[in-house]
Amino acid sequence: MKILIIGGGPVTQELLKAFESEKELKRNEVVVVEIDAERAEEISKAFDVVVVRGDARDISLYESQIASLTPLSDFDAVLALTDREEVNIFALTIARHYGSAVRLARVKNVKVGEVVSRLELGVPIIVPTIVSNFIKTYLQTLLQPRLVGEVDEYKIYCLTTTGTDRVVNKKIEELQLPEDVKVLFVFDGTKLYVPSKEEVIKEGYLLYVLAKTSDISVISEIFKG
């Protein structure tokens, strides 16, 4: 996969670290555009990516420097991750014009995100909204599980673990869960992932649980006790 990332700030660097830890950088061609010379050099030394130093607001950057590496239309994904919305929107507009398949932009304002969606520029990643929604979910599921969806006869519950819960500091395989109850996903504050049976449930984890029962008290008893 060919990926173009606009901006080499903290978000981009965390993304590159995540790719690197899962051996994804070697399987993909990643180009990072960064205007700051010192930061561009740091990224070039730290990661197996191509770094283009330049201003993402300069259209010639896309038509010359980037195009000399890979035509913009050939990128499978364009990620605009700078901390400036106008730069990110400009980058998405150029990427859409050239027909890049997937386009994502980091934005701070909900209304700006709505405009990005309405104009079909790409997918807006509205950071404050994402963070506030996670915090809201934590608070809503702190005392008891919450039903968040259904799949056929199964229900999906979400719950936050606390220090007094019976499941805390135990491996999933030690919980002796009923056959029709499964821990689908875990959010540990940094990432959402599918846990193994060896996963140790820690205080403050957000758990997504699949179960057939429609009785929230049953799920509460199993996980919170």
pLDDT in tens, 115-147: 999 999 999 999 899 999 989 999 999 999 999
The residue written with tokens 């006790």 in the block is 225
pLDDT in tens, 146-180: 999 999 999 999 999 999 999 999 999 999 899 99
Instruction: Write down the pTM of the prediction.
Output: 0.82
Helix axes 10-21, 37-46, angle to 10 degrees: 10
Continuous H helices in 107-185:
110-118, 127-140
Residue 211 has pLDDT above 80, yes or no: yes
At 46, list the tokens: 């730290």
Candidate from 19-33, 133-147, 173-187, 207-221 with smallest mean pLDDT: 19-33
Q: What is the pLDDT of residue 25?
A: 76
Residue 23 has pLDDT above 90, yes or no: no
Q: What is the pLDDT of residue 21?
A: 79
Q: Within 10 Å of residue 133's Cβ, how many Cβ atoms?
A: 11
Q: What is the pLDDT of residue 225?
A: 85
Domains of the chain by residue range: 2-127, 138-223
Comparing CA positions, the residue from 40, 42, 24 lying closest to residue 32 is 40
Candidate from 21-25, 117-121, 180-184 with smallest mean pLDDT: 21-25
Spatial neighbors of 176 by CB under 8 A, at least 6 apart, are none
Architecture field, domain 2-127: 3-Layer(aba) Sandwich (3.40)
Mean pLDDT, range 84-102, rounded to an integer = 93
Comparing CA positions, the residue from 165, 180, 169 lying closest to residue 224 is 165
Q: Superfamily assignment of 138-223 in CATH?
A: Regulator of K+ conductance, C-terminal domain (3.30.70.1450)
Continuous H helices in 1-109:
10-21, 37-46, 59-60, 85-97
Compute the distance between CA of residue 142 and CA of residue 159 in angstroms, rounded to an integer: 6
Q: What is the pLDDT of residue 20?
A: 86
At 13, list the tokens: 């660097």
Q: What is the pLDDT of residue 220?
A: 94
Phi and psi dihedrals of 204, rounded to 5? 90, 5
